[in-house]
């Protein structure tokens, strides 16, 4: 997978988002449609089987992306929840979704690890809609890109964040070697700091949705690479498919 990353970053793919400097890759969506190894990853039994158990149903990939967080230049992700995007922008009626995060690089305390507030998913949707803040770097970009910049469209305000940390007792920042996997609820509040280190921190993020939680029609639906229209349930593939 790592060997494919430079080619992915270098292509002008429709799902690519850059940082504010206009050159550093921030994220790339729909990679599993471009590269066979990432399609196989999305169907891997070590991911699909536990997610099916968690959601108690067959599942499909609603969204697949690589979050780059490049060394020195990877920018902040403000505190937010994922489900509010999937609900408001894509029409997913309930948070019967699970996120799988696969570390493509070692994630350590220096390179902007994902930070989460365990238990915050119990609050339901609490992210607020912010005023449209179209940074000059994105003034000619589609609306869906502007919603994913450092400003974000749906965020957790400071008072709410402080209350959540006080109520649930901690912020955690899962770390580990490349190949580590993290599962978390789409309403779990999370974010990440900028990467000031010399270490890249690329992760794959897969949003798996239950086939019993199909989206309803929304105005101005997001592109296919952000919100899949292929609702066929995944047949898990062998654990050996990624071994070479």
* Nearest one of 221, 222, 215 to 60, comparing CA atoms: 215
Domain segments of the chain: what residues? 2-10+24-210
Instruction: Tell me the mean pLDDT in the region 113-130.
Output: 94
pLDDT in tens, 176-191: 999 999 999 999 999 9
Residue 34 confidence (pLDDT) above 80: yes
Residue 173 confidence (pLDDT) above 80: yes
> Which tokens sit at 120?
């915050």
> Exposed, middle or buried: residue 12 (CB in 10 Å: 0-12, 13-18, 19+)?
exposed
pTM beyond 0.85: the answer is yes
pLDDT at 235: 96
Strands 97-103 and 203-210: antiparallel
CA 164 to each of CA 22, 127, 138, 168, 201: distance values in angstroms, whole numbers, following the listed order: 34, 12, 32, 6, 26
pLDDT at 137: 61
Query: In the CATH hierarchy, which fold is given to the domain comprising 2-10+24-210?
Result: Jelly Rolls (2.60.120)
Q: Are 227 and 63 in contact (CB under 8 A)?
A: yes
pLDDT in tens, 52-98: 999 999 999 999 999 999 999 999 999 999 999 999 999 999 999 99
Spell out the alpha helix ranges (H) of the chain: 5-10, 36-42, 45-55, 83-88, 143-146, 158-168
């Amino acid at each position: 997978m790592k060997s494919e990353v430079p080619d992915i970053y270098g292509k002008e793919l429709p799902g690519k988002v850059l940082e504010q400097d206009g050159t550093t890759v921030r994220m790339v969506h729909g990679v599993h449609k471009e590269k066979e190894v990432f399609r196989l990853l999305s169907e891997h039994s070590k991911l699909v089987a536990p997610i099916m158990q968690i959601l108690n149903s067959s599942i499909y990939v609603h969204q697949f992306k690589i979050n780059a967080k490049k060394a020195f230049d990877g920018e902040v992700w403000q505190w937010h929840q994922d489900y509010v995007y999937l609900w408001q922008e894509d029409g997913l009626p309930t948070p019967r979704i699970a996120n799988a995060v696969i570390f493509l690089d070692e994630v350590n305390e220096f390179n902007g690890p994902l930070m989460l507030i365990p238990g915050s998913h119990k609050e339901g949707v609490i992210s607020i809609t912010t005023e449209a803040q179209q940074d000059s770097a994105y003034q000619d970009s589609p609306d869906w890109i502007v919603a994913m910049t450092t400003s974000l469209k749906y965020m957790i305000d400071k008072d709410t964040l402080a209350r959540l940390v006080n109520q649930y007792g901690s912020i955690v920042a899962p770390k580990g070697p490349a190949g580590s996997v993290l599962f978390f609820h789409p309403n779990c509040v999370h974010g990440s700091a900028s990467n000031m280190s010399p270490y890249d921190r690329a992760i794959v993020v897969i949003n798996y949705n239950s086939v019993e939680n199909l989206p309803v029609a929304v105005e101005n639906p997001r592109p296919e690479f952000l919100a899949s229209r292929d609702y066929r349930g995944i047949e898990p593939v062998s654990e050996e498919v990624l071994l070479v």
